[in-house]
Amino acid sequence: MISRLGRLYFELLYARRGDPWGFERREYERAKYERTLAALADRRFPRALEIGCSEGVFTAMLAPRCDELLAVDVSRVAIARARKRLADTPGVSLQRRTLPEDMPTGMFDLIICSEVLYYWNADLLLVALRSFESALAPGGSLLAVHGRFASRTCPLHGDDVHDLLARQTSLSRALSATEPNYRLDRYDKSPA
């Protein structure tokens, strides 16, 4: 089995068309984004990391809740589009990175993985999970949200991702929601 869908897959996908998943126009995405923000309650985050930011649609919604938001994606095309979208948004930094190998340094109060972890196989996901746990500041949150659709290209199903996180994380599950089309889980790190 492949370890992940690689950078070339995403570069070609974004080169063919903008917004390939309909993040801007689909009601499913809007409702999921609102539910994701609600899962954060009224918290404000000094430093946050968004993994798989794509073209920055959700990034723009998350940014007002963060002092600093580092949003990363494997695709240069996606990052270029996100830079245009977020050019006037304070506190946002966008970088092309391949995670978990190129995990940013420092501690984060929030790490969000939305519709991205099923692109990795279970072994790579476990490596990433350990990196996320180490990079999470005391009292910080790891939020994962993934679709529950069938895929012939993704190494994992969204339910597999969330089941694996639940079994393998050292963090405490603070919130869990299973909807017909997606799952959402928030894990919190002990305040120290």
- Which two three-digit tokens encode residue 89? 């948004």
Of the pLDDT bands very low, low, confident and very high (cuts 50, 70, 90), residue 46 is very high
Q: Residues 120, 124, 129, 135: what is their CA dihedral angle, to the nearest 10 degrees?
A: -100
In a domain, 149, yes or no: yes
In a domain, 1, yes or no: no
In a domain, 35, yes or no: yes
Range of the domain at 56: 7-188
CA 92 to chain centre: 15
In a domain, 2, yes or no: no
Each residue's pLDDT tens digit, 107-145:
999 999 998 898 888 999 999 999 999 999 999 999 999
In a domain, 86, yes or no: yes
Each residue's pLDDT tens digit, 54-73:
989 999 999 999 999 999 99
In a domain, 87, yes or no: yes
CA distances from 15 to 8, 18, 80, 121, 171 (A): 10, 7, 11, 25, 38
Each residue's pLDDT tens digit, 171-190:
999 999 999 999 999 999 99
For the entire predicted model, the pTM comes to 0.89
CATH number for the domain spanning 119: value is 3.40.50.150
- Which two three-digit tokens encode residue 43? 């918290």
Distance CA 113, CA 116 (A): 6
pLDDT at 12: 66
Each residue's pLDDT tens digit, 144-159:
999 898 777 777 788 9
Instruction: Give the closest residue to 55 by CA, choosing from 90, 31, 87.
Output: 87
Count of domains forming the chain: 1
Residue-wise DSSP of the chain: --SB--HHHHHHHHHH-SSTT-TTT-HHHHHHHHHHHHTTTT--EEEEEEES-TTSHHHHHHGGGEEEEEEEES-HHHHHHHHHHTTT-TTEEEEE--TTTTPPSS-EEEEEEES-GGGB-HHHHHHHHHHHHHHEEEEEEEEEEEE----SS-SS-HHHHHHHHHHH-SSEEEEEEE-SSEEEEEEE----
Sign of the Cα torsion 146, 38, 95, 136 reads negative
In a domain, 153, yes or no: yes
In a domain, 73, yes or no: yes
